[in-house]
């Protein structure tokens, strides 16, 4: 535990004294006046300063008397130098790039665009914030907890005297989501006040915190395996790992590694033993997490054909808000690509001065240039993953502007753009993600087939005609109105430039005419797109759909009626083997939690290998009736033991949450299930349940498990507190912590759940 006074004076970041001597951070402590930019016309001066905790940046208007804002360095994902945002690009003629920078926040929060008074000041902030971010990312669990304790101390120490009286302690408990009667609070306060001064300072506050956060639930497990109740011998620890955590191979080496990594006591380490503090550190570490660490890394075979993978995919990627009036931005592409998305979408229309533009056609959404999207794609496509990116083009442009699109793609992307079959050969199936590493594939209409291009056969060297089967036709289907218009849209022909057509290799967009037709006539490089409603109709023939998706790619996208950018349930589409299930990444909710959960494995690379029974032509997997030859259902038992430091959802003074935990199974229809614990009155700080929830999992390979914490409300809808979603196959059995995420999918340290998971065969 930290020494509060020295921690507040020096901070964990500065314990070596290096920060006080760091010129960049020194100038941030002093503060700087910079311009905050929102548009070409909105440019306001703000005074920015780094707070003493080295974690908080404070800023205020020169005019406003007391009004100010703050944000945490922990919320900043990256710092971009120069004109690297649309806002800063719009004022590039006014301010040079060496004075400009952008703070990019985690989740869905908007960027902060700033202009410093000089290049030197800009560099101080750019380098300083990057140092603070690096330091945070390198912090261990213990340091993060130290930081968290000190943050609370500072919040509660209202008069800033480095001491805490009983009133401040009572206020602190409410802030921390603890409802404790005054008598018990006073008893803890008095026990911690060793100096009997009537205030807590330094180590006394740490003692108070330790009494407050005593983990009786973990202590109970520790003492069950400890011979003397004080430590776990190497044999004790091995017994625990074998019997509870179900470790099998190399258990001696693993136990020694855990002691070396997590045991804080030098004496215990020398004795090859683990104290309670070390045991708790292990259980709250990635190795004690419910998510198997070996599956966080890249672990799957990446040499199968592209159609054998689920592919992380975004719909109308350029939109940051709704589908009617929302803001279009290249930022949508940056955010999606950095999250590991591997299929992004552009809607292209004729723009002014011959330049194609991207926006949601026939709506009031704002417009961006196609060439800017391509530039961002070139810069960000392979930052999160080296595996291929598919650029799905919905093309509404004239032939002239299509030629310019092809030119932009070729010139800006260069060798990254795949323009011909690999090794100049026509294969009989799609290449693999491994084969296509570092490549961008265009998905769109193509004149003729792949074979024609290889044989030099093209009917018209300038342009070709293709049926217009784009999303506009599908949207009309969703509206179920005006049949004559719908018919006309479907029959219309679109002129396609040869230059743009030649950029399409392995993802030729074609109309879907039924499973029988597809089986006889379809080529492996052809891909069909379905609205969610069309896909659901085809799911009635689920086994046929699964088989279709063994041979070629399918893309499913949200209905045109979802003008609010809501999402459909992607699980239904994955159950049918659909690879490219495009979601509105800008909209938080259970659907994006499922998407994030599925793609959180395999190195976050955006490709997940489908189960073996969805990759074989001779298998007849039917998600509606999954009891096939290899059918082996499993029993999942989850004992929800406790919660730790759950965040407040209602900031009203005195408001404390009544938490409950719901466990949801998302999978084939037989597996869809949810169960809840009871709710705990007025305790978000350390609620204890010991409630056991039981599930039967019929198709484990397709199941996702979602843990949701809610604030119970008997008169209205429960409030969301936090969640964590992971594939069933990535679960580590035993005593595990679940580190909760916010609605945006960002970490809410140190909020967690403690559970005991058991997975057994169903007899």
| Residues belonging to the active site | 315, 360
Contacts of 101 (CB under 8 A, 6+ apart): 79, 80, 81, 82, 114, 116, 122, 125, 126
Distance from C-alpha of 464 to C-alpha of 454, rounded to nearest angstrom? 17
41 annotated to a ligand binding site = yes
Distance from C-alpha of 336 to C-alpha of 318, rounded to nearest angstrom? 10
The residue among 597, 757, 600, 738 whose CA lies nearest residue 284 is 738
349 annotated to a ligand binding site = no
303 annotated to a ligand binding site = no
* Number of Cβ within a 10 Å radius of residue 101: 25
366 annotated to a ligand binding site = no
Asked whether the beta carbons of 713 and 226 are under 8 A apart, the reply is no
43 annotated to a ligand binding site = yes
419 annotated to a ligand binding site = no
190 annotated to a ligand binding site = no
167 annotated to a ligand binding site = no
674 annotated to a ligand binding site = no
Output the six-digit token pair for 628: 């096939």
Contacts of 255 (CB under 8 A, 6+ apart): 234, 237, 238, 241
Say what the alpha-carbon torsion angle 237, 240, 245, 247 is, to the nearest 10 degrees: 60
383 annotated to a ligand binding site = no
What's phi and psi for 66, nearest 5 deg?
A: -115, -15
Output the six-digit token pair for 419: 């323009």
443 annotated to a ligand binding site = yes
758 annotated to a ligand binding site = no
55 annotated to a ligand binding site = yes
624 annotated to a ligand binding site = no
166 annotated to a ligand binding site = no
42 annotated to a ligand binding site = yes
What's phi and psi for 317, nearest 5 deg?
A: -55, -25
Parallel/antiparallel/unpaired status of strands 368-369 and 357-358: antiparallel
3-state secondary structure of 171: helix
52 annotated to a ligand binding site = yes
506 annotated to a ligand binding site = no
Output the six-digit token pair for 199: 């205030």
682 annotated to a ligand binding site = yes
51 annotated to a ligand binding site = yes
38 annotated to a ligand binding site = yes
Q: Which residue, chain included where needed, has tokens 């916010």?
A: 742
631 annotated to a ligand binding site = no
First and final C-alpha spacing in the chain: 48
59 annotated to a ligand binding site = yes
39 annotated to a ligand binding site = yes
Q: Which residue, chain included where needed, has tokens 């703050």?
A: 70
125 annotated to a ligand binding site = no
* Number of Cβ within a 10 Å radius of residue 481: 9
602 annotated to a ligand binding site = no
DSSP 8-state assignment for residue 732? P
Distance from C-alpha of 575 to C-alpha of 573, rounded to nearest angstrom? 5
555 annotated to a ligand binding site = yes
- Return the sign of the alpha-carbon dihedral for residues 570, 575, 576, 577: positive
165 annotated to a ligand binding site = no
670 to 425, 478, 575, 698: CA distances (angstroms): 44, 28, 11, 7
What is the three-state SS of 425-472? CCCCCCCCCCCCCCCEEEEECCCCCHHHHHHCCCCCCCEEEEECCCHH
Distance from C-alpha of 137 to C-alpha of 145, rounded to nearest angstrom? 14
37 annotated to a ligand binding site = yes
507 annotated to a ligand binding site = no
711 annotated to a ligand binding site = yes
269 to 260, 261, 278, 317: CA distances (angstroms): 7, 10, 10, 52
Distance from C-alpha of 472 to C-alpha of 54, rounded to nearest angstrom? 51
Asked whether the beta carbons of 752 and 738 are under 8 A apart, the reply is yes
242 annotated to a ligand binding site = no
- Return the sign of the alpha-carbon dihedral for residues 533, 537, 543, 547: negative
Contacts of 709 (CB under 8 A, 6+ apart): 643, 646, 659, 660, 661, 721, 722, 723, 740, 753
- Paired strand residues for 112: 103
Distance from C-alpha of 455 to C-alpha of 468, rounded to nearest angstrom? 26
3-state secondary structure of 208: helix
44 annotated to a ligand binding site = yes
11 annotated to a ligand binding site = no
653 annotated to a ligand binding site = no
159 annotated to a ligand binding site = no
Binding residues for substrate: 36-63, 443, 445, 529, 555
Binding residues for Ca(2+): 316, 345, 347, 394, 656, 658, 682, 711-713
Binding residues: 36-63, 316, 345, 347, 394, 443, 445, 529, 555, 656, 658, 682, 711-713
């Amino acid at each position: 535990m930290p020494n509060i006074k020295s921690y507040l004076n020096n901070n964990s970041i500065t314990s070596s004294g290096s920060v006080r001597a760091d010129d960049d951070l020194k100038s941030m402590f002093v503060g700087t006046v910079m311009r905050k930019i929102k548009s070409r016309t909105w440019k306001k001066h703000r005074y920015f300063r780094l707070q003493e905790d080295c974690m908080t940046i404070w800023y205020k208007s020169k005019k406003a008397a007391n009004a100010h804002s703050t944000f945490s360095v922990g919320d900043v994902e990256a710092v971009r130098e120069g004109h690297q945002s649309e806002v800063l690009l719009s004022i590039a003629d006014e301010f040079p790039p060496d004075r400009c920078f952008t703070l990019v926040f985690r989740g869905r929060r908007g960027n902060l665009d700033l202009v410093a008074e000089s290049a030197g000041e800009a560099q101080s902030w750019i380098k300083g914030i990057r140092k603070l971010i690096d330091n945070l990312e390198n912090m261990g669990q213990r340091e993060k907890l130290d930081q968290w304790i000190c943050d609370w101390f500072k919040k509660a120490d209202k008069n800033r005297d480095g001491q805490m009286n009983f009133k401040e302690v009572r206020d602190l408990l409410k802030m921390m989501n603890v409802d404790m009667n005054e008598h018990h609070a006073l008893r803890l306060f008095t026990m911690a006040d060793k100096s009997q001064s009537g205030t807590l300072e330094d180590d006394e506050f740490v003692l108070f915190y330790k009494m407050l956060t005593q983990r009786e639930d973990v202590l109970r497990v520790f003492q069950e395996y400890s011979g003397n109740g004080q430590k776990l011998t190497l044999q004790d620890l091995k017994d625990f790992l074998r019997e509870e955590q179900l470790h099998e191979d190399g258990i001696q080496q693993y136990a020694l590694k855990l002691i070396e990594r997590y045991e804080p006591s030098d004496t215990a380490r020398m004795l090859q033993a683990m104290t309670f503090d070390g045991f708790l550190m292990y259980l709250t570490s990635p190795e004690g997490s419910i998510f198997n660490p070996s599956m966080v890394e890249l672990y799957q075979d990446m040499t199968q054909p592209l159609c054998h993978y689920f592919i992380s995919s975004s719909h109308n990627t350029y939109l940051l808000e709704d589908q009617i009036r929302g803001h279009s931005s290249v930022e949508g592409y940056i955010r999606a690509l950095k999250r590991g998305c591997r299929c992004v979408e552009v809607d292209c229309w004729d723009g002014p001065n011959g330049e194609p533009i991207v926006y949601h056609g026939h709506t009031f959404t704002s417009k961006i240039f196609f060439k800017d999207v391509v530039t961002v794609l070139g810069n960000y496509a392979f930052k999160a993953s080296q595996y291929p990116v598919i650029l799905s083009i919905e093309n509404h442009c004239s032939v002239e502007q299509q030629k310019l699109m092809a030119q932009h793609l070729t010139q800006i992307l260069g060798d990254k753009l795949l323009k011909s079959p690999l090794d100049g050969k026509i294969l009989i199936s799609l290449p693999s993600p491994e084969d296509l590493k570092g490549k961008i594939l265009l998905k769109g209409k193509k004149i003729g087939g792949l074979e024609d291009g290889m044989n030099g056969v093209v009917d018209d060297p300038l342009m070709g005609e293709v049926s217009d089967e784009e999303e506009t036709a599908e949207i009309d289907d969703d509206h179920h109105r005006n049949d004559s218009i719908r018919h006309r849209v479907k029959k219309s022909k679109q002129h396609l430039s040869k230059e743009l057509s030649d950029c399409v290799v392995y993802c030729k967009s074609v109309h879907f005419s039924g499973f029988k037709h597809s089986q006889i006539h379809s080529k492996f490089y052809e891909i069909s797109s379905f609205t969610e409603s069309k896909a659901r109709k085809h799911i009635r023939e689920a086994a046929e759909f699964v088989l279709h998706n063994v041979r070629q790619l399918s893309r499913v996208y949200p209905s045109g009626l979802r003008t609010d950018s809501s999402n459909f349930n992607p699980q239904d589409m994955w159950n049918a083997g659909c690879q490219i299930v495009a979601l509105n990444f800008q909209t938080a909710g259970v659907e994006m939690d499922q998407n994030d959960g599925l793609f959180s494995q395999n190195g976050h690379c955006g490709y997940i290998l489908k189960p073996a029974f969805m990759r074989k032509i001779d298998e007849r997997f039917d998600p509606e009736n999954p009891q096939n030859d290899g059918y082996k259902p499993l029993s999942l038992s989850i004992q929800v033991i406790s919660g730790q430091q759950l965040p407040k959802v209602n900031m009203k003074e005195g408001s404390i949450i009544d938490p409950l935990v719901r466990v949801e199974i998302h999978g084939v229809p037989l597996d869809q299930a949810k169960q809840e614990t009871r709710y705990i009155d007025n305790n978000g700080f350390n609620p204890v349940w010991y409630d056991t929830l039981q599930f039967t999992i019929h198709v484990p390979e397709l199941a996702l498990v979602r843990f949701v914490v809610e604030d119970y409300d008997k008169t209205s809808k429960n409030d969301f507190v936090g969640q964590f979603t992971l594939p069933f196959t990535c679960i580590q059995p035993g005593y595990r912590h679940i580190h909760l995420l916010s609605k945006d999918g960002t970490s809410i340290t140190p909020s967690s759940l403690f559970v005991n998971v058991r997975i057994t065969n169903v007899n």
